[in-house]
Amino acid sequence: MPHENPDPAVMREHYRSVLLHESDLAATPMEQFDRWFGDAADRGLPEPNAMVVSTADTDGRPSSRTVLMKRFDERGFVFYTNYTSRKGTELAANPHVSLLFPWHRIARQVIVTGTAERVGRDETAAYFRTRPHGSQLGAWASEQSSVIPSREKLMERYEQLAERYPEGEQVPVPPQWGGFRVTPVSVEFWQGHENRLHDRLRYVQQEEGRGWRVERLCP
Ligand SMILES: Cc1cc2nc3c(=O)[nH]c(=O)nc-3n(C[C@H](O)[C@H](O)[C@H](O)COP(=O)(O)O)c2cc1C
């Protein structure tokens, strides 16, 4: 082997952190997420809004990828993507989704299960307008998840778009691009501890209007 990598079997982190008690939790998982997201940002984690989104096709075959969470509030978590991408087509046929925030450096992870639906076109347009000009063109240039013959083809398409919409000119929102909002059904907060005696507290949505139940899971 040209490069001698460390053996992952002997890699071991010792997690030292404060215990997570049921009485510490906020009333709703989104409030609790707000606290932990704040901690992750304060601790200087790079891209704490990066999350792994897992979808499945109608035969139950899963696929995962990282995306950036761009908004969260009591309604759920929003990310933007191409609706014709693999995730986009899988979510159109099967809206069940899992999100995972891997905040390894602070020995935490948050796992969400729920369902995804498209955000309104106005909300998508409002966000699209905040993106840098180059990213707006990129959203048009890429038929996300399709096979292309070369990088040159992609760049060619980008250059054509840059000519059509020079810097300063408004780029229209691509019809195949937009947001998904994930409405949570359960949200697990995982806090790592020594001897693998981690805390796992999971909010589970009760029947309509009855709020959230919290349960502790064995690590
Ligand atoms: C840190 C990071 C952030 C990303 N953010 C996004 C994003 O916000 N939206 C997106 O569509 N793809 C994003 N990607 C690319 C996706 O991981 C993925 O390659 C792409 O969405 C195509 O996925 P699919 O073919 O499974 O649909 C990001 C990748 C990384 C590593």
| 114-163 residue pLDDT tens | 999 999 999 999 999 999 999 999 999 999 999 999 999 999 999 999 99
Query: How high is the pLDDT of residue 107?
Result: 95
Model confidence at 210, pLDDT cuts 50, 70, 90, reads confident
Token pair of 119 as six digits = 């955000």
Average pLDDT, the chain: 95
Query: 16 pLDDT band (50/70/90 cuts)?
Result: confident
- Please report the pLDDT score of residue 212 as a whole number: 97
Whether the CB-CB separation of 77 and 182 falls below 8 Å is answered with: yes
Distance separating alpha carbons of residues 53 and 93, to the nearest angstrom:
16
Nearest CA to ligand 1 atom 30: 66
pLDDT in tens, 25-62: 999 999 999 999 999 999 999 999 999 999 999 999 99
Over residues 80-86, mean pLDDT = 98
The Å distance, Cα 38 to ligand 1 centre, comes to: 23
Residue whose CA is closest, atom 4 of ligand 1? Answer: 67
Q: How far is the CA of 17 from the centre of ligand 1 (A)?
A: 31
Ligand 1 closest atom vs CA 87: 27
For the chain, give the percent of residues with pLDDT over 90. 89
Atom 28, ligand 1: which residue's CA is nearest? 67
Give me the percent of the chain exceeding a pLDDT of 70: 99
Q: Output the ligand 1 site: residues, CB below 6 A.
A: 47, 50, 63, 65-68, 79-82, 85-87, 144-145
Closest to 56 (Cα-Cα) out of 98, 85, 112, 111: 98
Atom of ligand 1 nearest to the CA of 85: 27
SS3 content of the chain, % helix, strand, coil (to 5): 30, 35, 35
Q: What is the set of active-site residues?
A: 196
- The residue whose CA is least distant from atom 6 of ligand 1 is 67
Whether the predicted pLDDT of 208 surpasses 80: no
Rounded to the nearest whole angstrom, what is the distance from the C-alpha of residue 26 to the centroid of ligand 1?
A: 31
How many angstroms is it from 64 CA to the middle of ligand 1?
Answer: 10
Residue 4 has what pLDDT? 86
Q: How far apart are CA 128 and CA 130, in angstroms?
A: 5
Q: How far is CA 1 from CA 4, 5, 156, in A?
A: 7, 9, 38
Q: What is the pLDDT of residue 214?
A: 98
Find residue 138's DSSP bridge partners.
none
